[in-house]
Structure 1
């Protein structure tokens, strides 16, 4: 067919104009663009395909498509210390103001000193005392407001950004992809249930009723105006870590998950519980092996040891033996944060 010069130019320009739209459409076909091509990404896509294919051997009704995610170290940064502990440290001056005698009592004295080296030496028992003093003794709604105000102003010392910016982009994409395929995505964290519920919907798209976390008792009583309130009591109701995670899942969600995602020894039992059922199931653990874009710690695979988010070699070996997918942050995530390449 003969094409004159003017027609040829028009065709070329039309094709050039249409190309970006084609490229954009192509990009949208990948629901997990921040995941590198490899076994981890393929395992996710295969699970979703299996459980959503009606008539297939792996089909799972939408009501039973439960996915559980640890938060710290799995959905957002947990180093060098959990963000909730930072909140607790920041609250110590207020607690000491209300109870001046605490200024001379450890571990409050050390926290008030501001000496980071000494604060880093605090024991788990010390941290428990600080948590009990800063997370109790107020009504639930007042606590929610305080956390909301704090998380809107607090900044991570390394990136100088809000903690809620330090969520992993690959996981945000994964949560969205699962929900688009009929999954109920849930957070199952060793952190405080009331703390995480303040921002879970806004940051992760996870509603408060799908957050399972460590929880203290609350007591129904009346305020000075005779209005009913729930007061946070200094007594632990559920320690949502290790075996406490499956227990919490049962108590709050009422169904065994078919997909579990964690990053440390505290998530072992959740992965075990999720994969013990019948049908298509998947457990994943993210290994922090990227010191440049985030942090590197283990001590699995010779990585530096860490008290925060410990991933032991024993857990790594068990995961490999049981077919749980170990996700390398360095290899499997082409992007870590939305704000950085």
Structure 2
């Protein structure tokens, strides 16, 4: 009898952690969760034909709309808008200069209607003309206190609990996780390690040019009002190659801006995994895709089935959205 009990206990303990000890408790059981678990098991089991050595287990994640909320606007845009208001007393010309005049008058719709050019003007005016250290402090001070306009929560509390679990699950299985975002690389680096467990050197993003100077006898890197690299769309595979030097085996995104990263990741031979976060929950979060100015999702969604990418139905696949919930 004791031998039978011992055999049963050993069999129970031999069950893979994904079943015996659920590493993704905020995910509802179903095809999406099982696809993630199955992929991880395949690439981490040495006897599997799809086994991938740990150094090659690279997973890349978009940030806005994939790891945290991006509605009603990108968080970095909210930061830039706050910076415009803070700097306005030093720039009286902004009262008659677009897109700043509309912004200072509270007409955010006109600013957004101005498209990428208007947003780029705002970013250049608010992110340049200071050292990297000064910018890091400004970002850190802001992200520590800034709150979401709808929920009243800190932006750092608007991260997705299921994705935090996924990041931890991958790292527990010897994956190296990277952020590959259209957002500013120096805007994200001050806080990603604390919030996501992703250190600064594993963050890839858009950047402006830097200039080395000696200021008050000390070396400094000065941020210039000139774009250096846009890490979005076709820029994402380029950024991955420049910063990582390995093609990922898994990529996670939520918009058409992630399309090329998904294609680059999953087109190679061997076990590959692509996943799209589809925002379908209008009650707990937001429901949007092809009609949204932020996180526009259309082409990648249409291609998902033919490419074999997993599409998360946020409403049905996630038990909870935010950590506080």
- Please confirm whether the aligned pair reaches a TM-score higher than 0.5, indicating the same fold: yes
SS of the residue 2:180 aligns to: strand
Q: Find 1:145's aligned residue among 137, 141, 162.
A: 137
Structure with higher Rg: it is: 1
Match of 2:312 in 1: 327
In the alignment, is residue 274 of structure 1 matched against residue 265 of structure 2? yes
Match of 2:6 in 1: none
In the alignment, is residue 215 of structure 1 matched against residue 207 of structure 2? yes
Match of 1:83 in 2: 75
TM-score in terms of structure 1 length: 0.87
Match of 2:294 in 1: 308
Partners of 2:199 and 2:18 lie apart in 1 by 31
Task: Check conservation: 1:95, 1:133, Cα contact below 8 A.
Answer: no
Q: Find 1:163's aligned residue among 155, 170, 194.
A: 155
CA displacement at 1:26 relative to structure 2: 10
Match of 1:284 in 2: 275
Going from structure 1 to structure 2, the CA distance change for 1:277 and 1:133 (only over 3 Å counts) comes to same
In the alignment, is residue 233 of structure 1 matched against residue 218 of structure 2? no
Match of 2:8 in 1: none
Partners of 2:75 and 2:182 lie apart in 1 by 12
The correspondence of residues 49-60 of structure 1 with structure 2, limited to 5 A, is 49-60=41-52
In the alignment, is residue 242 of structure 1 matched against residue 233 of structure 2? yes
Partners of 1:27 and 1:161 lie apart in 2 by 33
The correspondence of residues 32-181 of structure 1 with structure 2, limited to 5 A, is 32-181=24-173
Match of 2:176 in 1: 184
Tell me how large the CA RMSD over aligned residues is. Answer: 1.6
Partners of 1:196 and 1:238 lie apart in 2 by 15
> Deviation per CA, 1:208-252, whole angstroms, max 9, x where unpaired?
0000000111110011x1110001111211110011000000111
Match of 1:296 in 2: 287
Task: Check conservation: 1:151, 1:164, Cα contact below 8 A.
Answer: yes
Match of 1:337 in 2: 322
Going from structure 1 to structure 2, the CA distance change for 1:271 and 1:27 (only over 3 Å counts) comes to closer
Going from structure 1 to structure 2, the CA distance change for 1:37 and 1:56 (only over 3 Å counts) comes to same
Partners of 2:51 and 2:211 lie apart in 1 by 43
SS of the residue 1:309 aligns to: coil
> Deviation per CA, 1:180-228, whole angstroms, max 9, x where unpaired?
00000000000000001111000000000000000111110011x1110
SS of the residue 1:81 aligns to: coil
TM-score in terms of structure 2 length: 0.92
Partners of 2:180 and 2:20 lie apart in 1 by 30
SS of the residue 1:228 aligns to: strand
> Deviation per CA, 1:128-150, whole angstroms, max 9, x where unpaired?
11011011111001000000001
CA displacement at 1:277 relative to structure 2: 1.6
CA displacement at 1:51 relative to structure 2: 1.0
Partners of 1:316 and 1:167 lie apart in 2 by 22
Partners of 1:117 and 1:307 lie apart in 2 by 11
Task: List runs of 5+ in structure 2 lacking aligned partners.
Answer: 1-16
CA displacement at 1:108 relative to structure 2: 1.1
Task: Check conservation: 2:213, 2:222, Cα contact below 8 A.
Answer: yes
